[in-house]
Amino acid sequence: MAIWDGTSGTAVDPENIISGAPKCPECSFFLVSDQEHFSYVCRKCGAIYDRDTLIRTGSFAAGKGTEVPESYIPFKISRGEAIGIFTEHCRSLGGLPKIYGSAKTLSDMTGAYVPFWLVSSEVEVNAKGIGFKGKQTNTFYNSNPAEDGVVRQEAYGTAKFRLKDIPFDGEKSIPDRIMASSEPFDLSELKEYSPDELKDIPAQKYDVVPVDMTDVIYRRLDKYAMQVISKVDFGFEQFIPYQDQCLTSYRNISVRYVLLPVWILTLEYDGIRYTYIINGQTGKLSGDFPESKQERSEQKERRSAQNALKRDLIIRILMVLVPWIIILVIIGIIGPENITMFFGYHPLEFILALVSAILAGVLIFHFAPKLFLKKTRKDYKNYYESMKKPVPASEPDAGVYFDTGFPLTAYETGSNFNALETGWKYRETTLSDIIKNIEAPEED
Ligand SMILES: [Zn+2]
């Protein structure tokens, strides 16, 4: 059962609302406004309220007074197996510092039940974006296809779905990023918490509660909401949302307190502390490793490519300067006064020499860099290619936490996000539309 009991519709004492800063109807603590999600959050009791109506819409309450976990997942990976997974991975990377293979390091592999908050919420996204083809019932729209022949239009839609049991670790000492990349856990194996069964391996106590990490929670929920919405087509062939013009709100946010099994290994190398997590249920390893031999050699390549680029630039500049240097040297040898004298008698040759000197300069300036540019481009390409690094492990996609028991509903709406009663229409007809329609009658 969820820790908070939904009591939506809580009446609000008007006296509680001071100008702009209402108090929590339940505990009288000041509410913090969350503009982005149209809600107020009570930092004390964790209650969440609709910003307009102050009706309770959920709660981040967990961990404040509720000290006992609801459930836990038992270990499936033994300590020996965890050490095996780690050493095997180190071997596959190759060239890691000696400390990674030392028996002393591996003996520090520690099991722990880490406190996690499982956050669930109903999500409503009011999306604005571009719809491609599919629906072409509007005469104005059909008569005005885009220049490239692709029929597209601005579209609005609303989608409702539910995200379920997204884990957030309630323990500060392990970096969130590393903890999140050890996901997912198979939550169908959650068992009711009983302290007797957790005797062998210690359960850590949480040191951060959901109400103090609402930013982190909302950020991940928002990210997942956008992932879901980018897969909804609202009846178009394709719908691409404007990421920054979608409004997301959450209903019935609830939090469960559970313990999840992990093996933790920390070590220090070169003054940097490295933390590794092995999922105690699935054996998935996560953590950052110091540069391996391969990375070091790649870095060397990058440096030499950089130097090659610098060399190219210098050579190209010299190429352009060379003819002018030669001319100056010739003038120096013959003597400037002789040259003046010669050209004084031969004005035609002077013009010819001047023109060819300018022409030569232009030609060299124009073509020399181009000859080198090809090579430079290749060097650049190699350089940027070598900068590419494998994508680091990150938290799972929204699909993992999509609640299929609460199906997605999506429908197209008008620009004010009210559902359209009678099918689809492009947008409110404006005076300029009418004028355009008169000017450009439909072709059929
Ligand atoms: Zn409160």
> pTM, whole model, 2 decimals?
0.66
Q: Which two tokens stand for residue 27?
A: 């505990």
Q: Tell me the CA–centroid distance for residue 7 and ligand 1, in Å.
A: 13
Q: Tell me the CA–centroid distance for residue 226 and ligand 1, in Å.
A: 29
Domain residue ranges of the chain, discontinuous segments joined by +: 14-59, 71-288+410-427, 295-387
Q: Tell me the CA–centroid distance for residue 60 and ligand 1, in Å.
A: 10
Q: Tell me the CA–centroid distance for residue 168 and ligand 1, in Å.
A: 22
Q: Tell me the CA–centroid distance for residue 61 and ligand 1, in Å.
A: 9
Q: Which two tokens stand for residue 206?
A: 């949480």
Q: Tell me the CA–centroid distance for residue 46 and ligand 1, in Å.
A: 6
Closest CA to 22 of 212, 8, 37, 13: 13
SS3 label, residue 170: coil
Q: Tell me the CA–centroid distance for residue 3 and ligand 1, in Å.
A: 15
Contact in structure between 408 and 122 (CB atoms under 8 Å)? no
Q: Which two tokens stand for residue 433?
A: 């539309």
Q: Tell me the CA–centroid distance for residue 117 and ligand 1, in Å.
A: 19
**Residues having C-beta closer than 5 Å to ion ligand 1:** 24, 26-27, 29, 42, 44-45, 47
**Residue 295, Cα to own-chain centre: how many angstroms?**
24
Strands (E), 37-140: 39-42, 47-50, 56-59, 71-72, 110-132
Contact in structure between 17 and 9 (CB atoms under 8 Å)? no
Contact in structure between 160 and 278 (CB atoms under 8 Å)? no
Q: Tell me the CA–centroid distance for residue 41 and ligand 1, in Å.
A: 8
Q: Tell me the CA–centroid distance for residue 173 and ligand 1, in Å.
A: 28
3-state helix, strand, coil in the chain (%, to 5): 40, 25, 35
Q: Tell me the CA–centroid distance for residue 433 and ligand 1, in Å.
A: 51
Q: Tell me the CA–centroid distance for residue 38 and ligand 1, in Å.
A: 17
With b for 16 or more beta-carbon neighbours within 10 A and e for fewer, the 99-120 pattern comes to ebeeeebbeebebbbbbbbbbb
Q: Tell me the CA–centroid distance for residue 23 and ligand 1, in Å.
A: 8
Q: Tell me the CA–centroid distance for residue 6 and ligand 1, in Å.
A: 14
Q: Tell me the CA–centroid distance for residue 374 and ligand 1, in Å.
A: 66
The pLDDT tens digits along the chain (444 residues) read 332 333 333 334 444 444 457 889 888 888 888 888 889 999 888 899 988 888 999 998 876 566 789 999 999 999 999 999 999 988 887 778 888 888 999 999 999 999 999 999 999 999 999 888 755 545 444 445 555 556 777 888 899 999 999 999 998 888 888 888 888 999 999 999 988 888 888 888 888 889 888 989 999 999 999 999 988 888 788 889 998 889 899 999 999 999 999 999 999 887 888 899 999 999 999 888 887 666 667 777 777 777 777 777 777 677 777 777 888 888 888 888 887 887 788 888 888 887 887 787 777 766 665 666 666 667 666 666 655 544 455 788 898 899 988 888 888 887 666 554 444 433 444 445 445 544 444 443
Contact in structure between 305 and 383 (CB atoms under 8 Å)? yes
SS3 label, residue 355: helix
Q: Tell me the CA–centroid distance for residue 31 and ligand 1, in Å.
A: 7
Q: Tell me the CA–centroid distance for residue 252 and ligand 1, in Å.
A: 16
Phi, psi of 418 (to 5 degrees): -90, 140
SS3 label, residue 6: coil
Q: Tell me the CA–centroid distance for residue 8 and ligand 1, in Å.
A: 14
Contact in structure between 141 and 226 (CB atoms under 8 Å)? no
